[in-house]
Structure 1
Amino acid sequence: MQNQECEISGRSIQTSRRTFLKQTSVAMLAGTLSQSKLLSAAETPPGKPEARIKKAVKYQMITEPVSVLDKFKMLKDLGFDGTEIHFRSKVNPKEVRRAIDATGVQVHGFLNSSRDELKDSIDQAKYYGGTSVLVVAGRVDDKNPYDVVYQQQQAKLRKHLPYAEQQGIRLLVENVWNNFLLSPLEMARFIDELESPAAGVYFDVGNVVRFGWPEQWIRILGPRIVKLDIKEYSRKKQVDEGLWKGFQVEITEGDCNWPEIRKALSDIGYTQGWATAEVKGGDRQRLQDISERMDRALDLA
């Protein structure tokens, strides 16, 4: 790791990363490091200098049968600041760029999922003017031992972090149901060991409700959290109907304690990052409902 970083970034950058590691390690214990140390200036979109959480939806959630430009116009009309594009999304990148320029609605990130090759995703995020690539860090099962996955996923990220730094793109690991990084303390350690200011967390609020409390994760992860996925989870539906049925509940109607989540976000200084809905999409009416629910959950109205 150190040799690779020296080749790419030089002694001064290596030193700065060591300093960064020390700062974030202290933050894990004390929770005192401000969000601004990890958020770049690019996180605040042009023309929106005020400090506020920005709303987005995943692009694949927009099912209205209209052009790319009209989809972006609709997002703007409904109060969304941006969207994210998945690597499987069938879109014309040039059309998307024109829609961004015409509406001011941003593509704030690119969704890589669990693919091993991250360079293309970094390039895509850069092309759209985004600031991040969402990464799913492997999966633990009977054929993929926990310790091996831990080492493999850190190696994958370390391979691409220098290039991400050069491009001004963050590689953000999401907490998902992959039997891996099962506590906020371990997730904080995983990120800190990468020793890169380009590494961070894409925190999914609803994904931890099954076995934890989002507000606790938020305070422990602290400034490592760069972006949020917004969804709900119902423990009652989990028990009564099955594990995955817990997600079949609307934002503000599950077991997420939104007042406590908002307080935790405020405590770590998360006031101007992105919050992206990851729920069942639909037409204009459905997206309007999602927008209004996000406003209530995050007190954005």
Structure 2
Amino acid sequence: MKLGYSMFSFSENIDLKDIFSNVSLMKYDGVEPVLSEEGYLNPSMREGEVLEIKKMANANGLEIPSVGVWSLWDNNPVSNDLSIRKKAVDIIERQLEFASILGADTILVIPGYTHCSFAKNPEKVAYNVAYDRAYELFFKLEKVAREYKVSIGIENVWNKFLLSPLEIRKFLDDINSEYVGSYFDVGNIMYIGDPSDYIEILGRHIKKIHISDYRVEQSGLGAFVDIFAGDVDFFEVIKSLKKIGYDDYLMLEMLPNYKRLPELSIYSNKPAMDRLKYMYETL
């Protein structure tokens, strides 16, 4: 079991050198960079520029096990606009390429949304149409992922799509590839279900785990809190992870992060992350 810190916790223009140094100081094992249109990792970069990020991480004793993406909220993979869907494919293919360069074995993607209130230009997509488009998309992208030997992990992330664990499992079973699976966020699922149920049902399909916590009596993004300050039953989560044989990264995501000095969450949440690892080793 390894512990990581996701750059989803910060803006797309953060100083990676400073953040990587802080993450290393707190003895995390890895970091998760995030692709965006104009940030520190963006589609216009050349291989040498991407490699500099890997060198920076390695110089701090950090691995890069996964790569996230911001851009798919504004380029919905199941959009009603064909040009947007094509742009989403380009983004994911670039993400796979960069992950391969960085030495990551997984990318995190949004499988698409049927409705979203926080995209710049949100649209509504019929659920059944979204499902068919998503299946076609990831069935094709599986071949690209296989070429790069990088898995695609679709995340459960407030997208009003692929809501049930049974539905997600069927979706992944039908694609039937070791290179298309689930990037499961334990906090994201709290508004509609129990993370332990999802973990045990998704089982072998889980590629990576995002760690976040959520208070169910609140609502929206403001309900996400420090680890063990919310309602995620982490004891049951760890038991379920052990039950399915998961022994990969626990990647901490603080989103939204602290309004001031967000890098302090690297320090304040490390004891909680260490406790999760201890629980895994001793339960």
Report the TM-score when normalising by structure 2: 0.78
Q: Which residue of 1 aligns with 2:9?
A: 61
| Aligned counterparts of 1:80 and 1:293: Cα–Cα separation in 2 | 12
Q: Which residue of 2 aligns with 1:78?
A: 26
Which structure 1 segments of 5+ residues have no match? 1-52
Moved more, 291-300 or 251-260: 291-300
Deviation at 1:283, TM superposition (A): 5.3
Cα displacement string for residues 192-222 of structure 1 (whole angstroms, at most 9, x for unaligned residues): 1112110110000001111111111111111
Q: Spell out the pairing of 1:128-139 with structure 2 (5 A cutoff).
A: 128-139=102-113
Q: Spell out the pairing of 1:231-250 with structure 2 (5 A cutoff).
A: 231-238=212-219, 243-247=220-224, 249-250=225-226
2:228 match: secondary structure: coil
Contact 1:252 1:296 (8 Å CA) reproduced: no
Cα displacement string for residues 11-48 of structure 1 (whole angstroms, at most 9, x for unaligned residues): xxxxxxxxxxxxxxxxxxxxxxxxxxxxxxxxxxxxxx
Contact 1:69 1:98 (8 Å CA) reproduced: no
Deviation at 1:60, TM superposition (A): 5.1
Report the TM-score when normalising by structure 1: 0.74
Q: Which runs of 4+ in 1 moved over 4 A?
A: 281-284
Q: Check if 1:294 corresponds to 2:273.
A: yes
- Letter of the structure 1 residue corresponding to residue 60 of structure 2: T
Which one has the largest radius of gyration?
Answer: 1
Cα displacement string for residues 99-137 of structure 1 (whole angstroms, at most 9, x for unaligned residues): 133233112111135333221111000011111111101
| Aligned counterparts of 1:124 and 1:274: Cα–Cα separation in 2 | 19
Match of 1:102 among 59, 65, 68: 59
| Number of matched pairs | 242
Rate the CA distance shift 1:84–1:140 in 2: closer, same or farther, 3 A: same
1:235 match: secondary structure: coil
2:218 match: secondary structure: helix
Q: Spell out the pairing of 1:167-182 with structure 2 (5 A cutoff).
A: 167-182=148-163
Q: Which residue of 2 aligns with 1:276?
A: 251
Q: Which residue of 2 aligns with 1:90?
A: 40
The alignment's C-alpha RMSD in Å is 2.3
Deviation at 1:178, TM superposition (A): 0.9
Q: Spell out the pairing of 1:111-260 with structure 2 (5 A cutoff).
A: 111-113=68-70, 114=72, 115-117=88-90, 118-141=92-115, 143-238=124-219, 243-247=220-224, 249-260=225-236
Rate the CA distance shift 1:207–1:77 in 2: closer, same or farther, 3 A: same
Which structure 2 segments of 5+ residues have no match? 42-48, 73-87, 116-122
Structure with higher RCO (Cα < 8 A, 6+ apart): 1
% identical aligned pairs: 28
